[in-house]
Amino acid sequence: MKTKSIFVCLLITLISAFSSVTHAQKQDSLTIAFWNVENFFDTLNTNGKNDEEFSPASKKHWTSERYQTKVLHLAQVIGDMNNKRGPDILGMSETETKEVVNDLVNSSIKNLKYNVVRIQSPDERHISTALIYKSDKFELLNAVGDTVHLENNHPTRLILHVSLLTKNNDTLHVYVNHWPSRLGGQDASEINRVAAAKTLRASVDLLLKTNPLANIVIMGDFNDEPNNNSIKRDLNAEEFICDSANFSYSLHNLAWEKKRSGEGSLKYRDEWDLLDQIIVSSPDVQSSHQSFHYICGSFTIFKPAYMIETDEKYAGSPLPTYGGNRYLAGYSDHFPVFAKFLCKRIKKNK
């Protein structure tokens, strides 16, 4: 009788608890990724574009067959991410047109139902950043391209700012970056990346002034490391180490733990560089009670075996499409990076 009474009491308590809750929380895991897809050009030689290098008549012999192989290879990597479900959001750099991105999302990953956001940059090579997102998980609110004004007035890539509505009606602000290269040397070219950092920081500050709890995800090929001036000083993105973050900063760089362990997303002259990073705003990492937050330790450099160089000279590096003008039928000279987040969705009980 005593056992039966305890069981009845527990059952009543559980029923009471569930009946008193008017809303139930469901947590969706989201994978947000970035990838420099390396010279994703079509085969057309278009007037006004510096794209002659990627045409059938060039030394690279960039043919339709090679272009289709590139599309399929990019799709293979994307489709294999997130336990073969593809990332929920993917930012990309080095896309020549919106059409090439459309070819990608309409290829073997068509079932993932990606929508494309892309704004053409004034870059002389005509390459721009782009973003794809799963249409069943997000709604596009807005997309703008922030112009980076360099001291020498040289045109460079826009910073793509995309605002998405999540399933719990939160706004997620995603910035996709491809900062000026190190052409001419890291020190001499630093001023250009500092200009990009200041442009991005101004946009972030405007957002945070309006809403200090704004959900912000910054991703890109920054052509600088997490500890370089442009990112640490001018963007003011603090290193983020799980359980020891300094929340007096408004931006946190999730790539720091990989940086400290000597890992990188590309290899240059036998040295690993971590130029591809994901940075988030404080509310995204400060508390698991937030509706959208980073899963600590989930920042990953995605390196499937098939896209790793096996040649002794370059062993371990990402397998690119070309080595100079020699066709390698690879993927990209960068590995993708991703991070995982929890998005708490409120659902009313019937």
The answer on pLDDT for 123 being more than 50 is yes
Structure tokens at 340: 């995982």
Provide the sign of the torsion angle of the four alpha carbons 68, 74, 77, 81, taken in this order: negative
- Mean pLDDT for 119-143 is 95
Nearest to 283 by CA among 198, 177, 192, 173: 173
Nearest to 30 by CA among 80, 88, 114: 88
The answer on pLDDT for 182 being more than 90 is yes
* Residues near 271 by beta carbon (within 8 Å), at least 6 away in sequence: 264
What confidence category does residue 249 fall into, taking pLDDT thresholds of 50, 70 and 90? confident
Q: What is the pLDDT of residue 275?
A: 98
What is residue 313's three-state secondary structure? helix
The answer on pLDDT for 327 being more than 90 is yes
What confidence category does residue 88 fall into, taking pLDDT thresholds of 50, 70 and 90? very high
Mean of all residue pLDDT scores within the chain: 89
Q: What is the pLDDT of residue 287?
A: 63
Nearest to 217 by CA among 31, 25, 27: 31
The answer on pLDDT for 135 being more than 90 is yes
CA atoms within 13 A on the CB side of 46: 12
Q: What is the pLDDT of residue 26?
A: 56
The domain made up of 25-348 is a member of CATH 3.60.10.10: yes
User: How far is it, in rounded angstroms, from Cα 104 to Cα 35?
Assistant: 14
What confidence category does residue 274 fall into, taking pLDDT thresholds of 50, 70 and 90? very high
The answer on pLDDT for 12 being more than 50 is no
Q: What is the pLDDT of residue 246?
A: 67
Residue 281 forms beta bridges with which residues?
A: 251
- Mean pLDDT for 63-81 is 98
What is residue 139's three-state secondary structure? strand
Q: Structural domain boundaries of the chain? A: 25-348
Task: Give the global pTM.
Answer: 0.90
At how many degrees (to 10) do helices 64-84 and 98-105 cross? Answer: 60
User: How far is it, in rounded angstroms, from Cα 305 to Cα 104?
Assistant: 21
* 116-120, 137-141, 187-191, 290-294: range with lowest mean pLDDT: 290-294
pLDDT > 70: what percent of the chain?
Answer: 88
What confidence category does residue 101 fall into, taking pLDDT thresholds of 50, 70 and 90? very high
In 96-250, the DSSP E strands lie at: 114-118, 128-134, 139-146, 159-165, 171-178, 215-221, 237-239
